[in-house]
A and B are shown apart, each in its own frame.
Chain A
Amino acid sequence: MLGYLLRRIFAAVPVMGVVALFVFLLLRLTPGDPAAILAGDNATPERLERIRTSLGLNEPLIVQFITWVNKLLHGDLGTSLISNLPVMKMIGQRVEPSISIALSTIILAVIVAVPLGAIAAWKHGTWIDRFVMGLSVLGFSVPVFVVGYLLIEVFAIDLRWVPVQGFKSISAGFGPFFERIILPTCALSFIYIALIARMTRAAMLDVLGEDYVRTARAKGINEVAVMLRHALRNAAVPVITVIGTGFALLISGVVVTESVFNIPGIGRLTVDAVLARDYPVIQAMILLTSLIYVVVNLLIDVAYTLLDPRIRY
């Protein structure tokens, strides 16, 4: 197991290397002078020169790359062209809200969706099944900002149970953290509940038709044990895949939710950077997102081997 883990981590290095190269070339290989692109249309010659030196654009390409990677390995992602703050610091501030919301969303979604999907499959073809599937169609089709504004309207404005928007770090106490994170979590988890419930139902339906489920029933054990011990664990592999990719998507792609609830997360940072052509920030975000996907995929694969003894690498 440990050997497998080390091999996988080792195998991730070239992947990240290719991503790094791509990110590096993204700016350098754009036609024209990168400094001119970065500086925008009304740049002064001094500003252009400053950008050139700060990016080392006067050096040969290979030297630039080595310097860049070297800085990268030391945690230096460069400086934002807009705010002049170190990119590392900018992202650092934004990571906590994004990760908090992604985690809480995926936890909520799993807690709600897996039992829903399992019950729907167990009661396949009954009104319970149709009700759950109806709910999931709703979850897919209602946009997240609609759910978000509805939740704000009811729970923050009418009932005044929680603040309307914003984010408080968990270091400021669990209470303030929790009451600000609960609404965006609910809004975001809607579609993930729909997705995971559907996946769980489909996987469970497959598994419930398997011979070993019939064997389990022939043993005279009760239905709960049949469902939990025999069906659910076998259905877990596709469900875990969806949960994992869902989580990765959540960290980097929750711009709408962050806007609705005015949360300073990395989704909005990315959008702002793209609109402002803040290349160092864009580069860092691409690297970070790739890293998240690599790590999540690794975790998914490790989960496979734990769930299914037949899978060995």
Chain B
Amino acid sequence: MTNPVLDINNLVVSVGKKTGGPKIIDGISIKVHEGETLCLVGESGSGKSVTSLTTMGLLPKGTLVPSGGSVKLVGEEILTATDRRLRQLRATKMAMIFQEPMTALNPVVPVGRQIDEVLRAHTRLDARARKRRILDMMEQVHLPQVERIFASYPHRLSGGQRQRIMIAMALVLEPKLLIADEPTTALDVTTQKQILSLIRELQRDHGTAVLFITHDMGVVAEIADRVAVMRQGRLVETGPLDTVLRNPTMEYTRNLLASVPSLVPRPPREDSREPVVLEANDLSKVYKERAFFGKGREVVAADKVTLTLRKGRTLGIVGESGSGKSTVARCIVRLIDPTSGGVRLAGREISDISRRLLQPHRQKIQIVFQDPYRSLNPRVSVGESIAEGPINYGVSHANAMKRARELLELVGLPADAVSRYPHQFSGGQRQRIAIARALALDPDVLVADEAVSALDVSVQAQVLDLLDEIQKRLGIAILFITHDLRVAAQICDEVVVMQHGRVVEQGPAAEVLTHPQEAYTRALLDAAPGRHWDFANFRPVSEGVGASA
């Protein structure tokens, strides 16, 4: 076998300058060869990003320090290299692309010039030769109208286009090693699919070794040759893709795979004859941008959306970013006012009544937001946060706090958590708190706006179970907004597929997600990464179908 491009041997990274600080990376060893993709998989806090930043020499100085082992790039030691040498190696021998294409490019410099900077720093080419090379690279990453994009500022480009620019920037000097740190996590599935195949294609053409960092097993199944599973700074398991997915040897890997929600919808529940608790009729939201002179711009964020939700059922709204799914949710909860159309909550029209008259109805519908790190007030104790709603509706402080304790136990947290503050809890625990807060008002409808999207899969599975259990116990109706078809398949009875503010298709989840009628739904399903793998059963989907037939 050829010499590895990247050879990490027994690497230790610890906190602080002194030795003996807590170890973030504790003795990991991985090799990546030419033309190979190694997927580094792990949940948040596993140390996968620290590993990649160590390799690039980009660790924040003084806070995280490599304290042992070695990192060799084509035989050259990185850990002891001077800053000057590291700068020479970056972009020429090793390059990196990051998670957020929205923020990874400098907003005040045209993208062409940002790529040009790489060439100016590392080559002696003249301006014309540099521009030719950049345009050529931009064509290789399949950007349209390269001359125009060359002169564009990042905010004029879509997320996918920006990530292509990042890839062009990383590969323009044909580095031996490309580190891709969750490069598709922030993108829509259809864009993600394109970017993954682009990385594949360029790797084939240039023989690049790719260290691909992700938390998403679906993406792993799409792109990896070999997989390395990390947990809390240690390597759990390494092996070829097929072996790890079929025969994971370690308990942790098995659990991780088992938590990946299946794209195959859960068995449908019986049709419900319970009363309808929430109805939206021709709900529309138009944003008008007023100009000082001349005519303003109109953006139709939601266009005549109609949906119904019965007691005890879960309705999913799925769609990509900009599809209007969150706008619909916010209109229904009246966080924003719909432009036209109606919302009936428990038989009462609420779309056009004033905020004051709305007040008694608010408690019937409650919302849980995406980011548990930002949706709880950091300076208010958990108990006060949960009790605030009931107190608002006239419950005495003592009773509200008593209820808060019960709710915390209901969502699987200790009752004494009432006096603690949000920062003392993990992401999954905070989302449980957010759910408890929403339940405090005994709502008929719970709106979950991407409520599990920011969570690791194992935690996600737990929160989904919790929602399911709460629904069974309280008979609450759930409106579940998500971009993740896997999650939708596991929790929804019915789904509504949205695109550009319109409903494309709706129906029972089992129908829509297995026999989609509309081209867009099919495209969405088709783009779902790892759709050929049934992770939880450690086998490809086709084999599962074969076995059961």
Interface residues of A, Cβ cutoff 8 Å to B:
7, 11, 125, 210-212, 214-222, 225, 229-230, 233-234, 307-310, 313
Given A214-B98, A309-B155, A310-B155, the answer on whether A220 and B104 have CB atoms closer than 8 Å is no
Residues of B99-128 whose CB lies within 8 A of A: 100, 103-109, 117-118, 121-122
Cβ-defined contact, B87 with A216, below 8 A: no
Cβ-defined contact, A219 with B106, below 8 A: no
Q: Give min CB distance, A234 to chain B, whole Å.
A: 6
Cβ-defined contact, B117 with A309, below 8 A: no
Q: Give min CB distance, A209 to chain B, whole Å.
A: 9
Cβ-defined contact, A234 with B58, below 8 A: no
Interface residues of B, Cβ cutoff 8 Å to A:
56, 58, 62, 86-92, 95-96, 98, 100, 103-109, 117-118, 121-122, 153, 155, 166, 169, 292-293
9 contacts between A and B (CB under 8 A): A211-B98, A220-B88, A220-B92, A220-B118, A221-B117, A222-B87, A225-B117, A234-B106, A234-B108
Cβ-defined contact, A218 with B56, below 8 A: yes
Cβ-defined contact, B87 with A221, below 8 A: yes
Q: Give min CB distance, A226 to chain B, whole Å.
A: 10
Cβ-defined contact, A218 with B108, below 8 A: no
Interface of A is mostly: helix
Q: Which residues of A contact B100 (CB under 8 A)?
A: 211
Given pairs A215-B104, A217-B90, 14 additional interface contacts (CB within 8 A)? A11-B292, A212-B103, A212-B105, A218-B56, A218-B96, A219-B91, A219-B117, A219-B118, A220-B90, A221-B117, A229-B117, A307-B108, A309-B153, A310-B153
Assembly CA distance A11 to B292 (angstroms): 10
Closest 3 CB pairs of A and B: A220-B90, A211-B103, A212-B106
Assembly CA distance A313 to B118 (angstroms): 33
Cβ-defined contact, B109 with A229, below 8 A: yes
Q: Which residues of B contact A220 (CB under 8 A)?
A: 86-92, 118, 121-122
Chain A residue with the shortest CB-CB distance to B92: A220
Cβ-defined contact, A218 with B95, below 8 A: yes
Q: Residue A308 contacts which of B104, B108, B118, B166 (CB distance < 8 angstroms)? A: B108
Q: Give min CB distance, B122 to chain A, whole Å.
A: 6
Assembly CA distance A241 to B121 (angstroms): 33
Chain B residue with the shortest CB-CB distance to A210: B103
Q: Give min CB distance, A308 to chain B, whole Å.
A: 6
Cβ-defined contact, A217 with B103, below 8 A: no
Q: Which residues of A contact B169 (CB under 8 A)?
A: 215, 219
Given A215-B98, A215-B104, A309-B107, the answer on whether A7 and B153 have CB atoms closer than 8 Å is no
Q: Which residues of A contact B155 (CB under 8 A)?
A: 309-310
Q: Which residues of A contact B87 (CB under 8 A)?
A: 220-222
Given A7-B293, A220-B89, the answer on whether A214 and B58 have CB atoms closer than 8 Å is yes
Q: Which residues of B contact A307 (CB under 8 A)?
A: 108
Q: Which residues of B contact A225 (CB under 8 A)?
A: 117, 121
Cβ-defined contact, B108 with A309, below 8 A: yes
Chain B residue with the shortest CB-CB distance to A310: B155
Q: Which residues of A contact B105 (CB under 8 A)?
A: 212, 215
Q: Give min CB distance, B119 to chain A, whole Å.
A: 10
Assembly CA distance A216 to B116 (angstroms): 12
Assembly CA distance A7 to B109 (angstroms): 27
Q: Give min CB distance, B171 to chain A, whole Å.
A: 12
Assembly CA distance A102 to B304 (angstroms): 59
Q: Which residues of B contact A234 (CB under 8 A)?
A: 106-108
Q: Give min CB distance, A87 to chain B, whole Å.
A: 35
Q: Which residues of B contact A210 (CB under 8 A)?
A: 103
Q: Which residues of B contact A233 (CB under 8 A)?
A: 108-109
Q: Which residues of B contact A309 (CB under 8 A)?
A: 107-108, 153, 155
Assembly CA distance A214 to B57 (angstroms): 11
Cβ-defined contact, B166 with A215, below 8 A: yes
Q: Which residues of B contact A125 (CB under 8 A)?
A: 62
Assembly CA distance A304 to B121 (angstroms): 29
Cβ-defined contact, A212 with B91, below 8 A: no
Q: Which residues of B contact A212 (CB under 8 A)?
A: 103-107
Q: Residue A221 contacts which of B104, B107, B121 (CB distance < 8 angstroms)? A: B121
Q: Which residues of A contact B121 (CB under 8 A)?
A: 219-222, 225
Q: Give min CB distance, A124 to chain B, whole Å.
A: 10
Chain B residue with the shortest CB-CB distance to A4: B292
Q: Which residues of A contact B104 (CB under 8 A)?
A: 211-212, 214-215
Assembly CA distance A125 to B118 (angstroms): 30
Q: Which residues of A contact B292 (CB under 8 A)?
A: 7, 11, 313
Chain A residue with the shortest CB-CB distance to B179: A218
Chain B residue with the shortest CB-CB distance to A234: B108
Q: Give min CB distance, A78 to chain B, whole Å.
A: 35
Cβ-defined contact, A218 with B106, below 8 A: no
Assembly CA distance A234 to B88 (angstroms): 26
Q: Give min CB distance, B165 to chain A, whole Å.
A: 10
Q: Which residues of B contact A214 (CB under 8 A)?
A: 58, 98, 104
Q: Which residues of B contact A308 (CB under 8 A)?
A: 107-108
Q: Give min CB distance, B183 to chain A, whole Å.
A: 12
Assembly CA distance A287 to B405 (angstroms): 62
Cβ-defined contact, A218 with B90, below 8 A: yes
Assembly CA distance A225 to B122 (angstroms): 14
Cβ-defined contact, B122 with A217, below 8 A: no
Assembly CA distance A211 to B87 (angstroms): 18
Assembly CA distance A230 to B113 (angstroms): 12
Assembly CA distance A234 to B155 (angstroms): 14
Q: Give min CB distance, A187 to chain B, whole Å.
A: 35
Assembly CA distance A212 to B103 (angstroms): 6
Cβ-defined contact, A310 with B106, below 8 A: no
Assembly CA distance A211 to B114 (angstroms): 14
Assembly CA distance A220 to B62 (angstroms): 20
Chain B residue with the shortest CB-CB distance to A309: B153
Q: Which residues of A contact B62 (CB under 8 A)?
A: 125
Assembly CA distance A192 to B109 (angstroms): 29
Cβ-defined contact, A217 with B58, below 8 A: yes
Cβ-defined contact, B106 with A230, below 8 A: yes
Name the residue among B96, B105, B108, B169 with the largest chain A CB count within 10 angstroms.
Answer: B108
Q: Which residues of B contact A217 (CB under 8 A)?
A: 58, 90
Name the residue among A215, A220, A222, A313 with the largest chain B CB count within 10 angstroms.
Answer: A220
Assembly CA distance A308 to B109 (angstroms): 9
